[in-house]
Amino acid sequence: MLEEKLYALSQMMAEHMAMPFPSGFRGLDIEDQDMVMLDADTYGFAAGVLKGPLSAQHRSGLTRLASACEKVLPVIDDQYATKYYGHVRDIAVLAAEIESLREK
């Protein structure tokens, strides 16, 4: 099951890299969250999950990012950006799920 989830995460990340960053979101803060950093940090933590277990501090950071996505998504009023950041959220959630499985 873990291997399947890791494969799914790698596929989601590849899809994400093929998506253009939403225009107008560079330098934009929503709910005190820099939208570029939300994207980049989530991708970075997820890449770490693919390499192996995260430290407790990094697991906490990943959980924070998933929560930040949930906070900003309802405020975004651009259809493409909502899809884009929904994908970012899904990556964070799956990566956190993988880390939870590793803890067991």
For the chain, the C-alpha Rg in angstroms (whole number) is: 13
Give the residue among 86, 66, 63 at the shortest CA–CA distance from 74: 86
Residue 24: both structure tokens together: 């107008």
Average pLDDT, the chain: 96
The type of residue at 40 is A
Mean per-residue pLDDT for 16-33? 96
Backbone angles phi, psi at 33, to 5 degrees: -120, 120
Residue 43 C-alpha from the chain's centroid:
6
Question: Reduced to 3 states, what is the DSSP secondary structure of residue 19?
Answer: coil
Give me the pLDDT at residue 52, please: 94
pLDDT bin (cut points 50, 70, 90) of residue 103 is confident
pTM exceeds cut of 0.85: yes
CA–CA separation, 29 and 25 (whole Å): 8
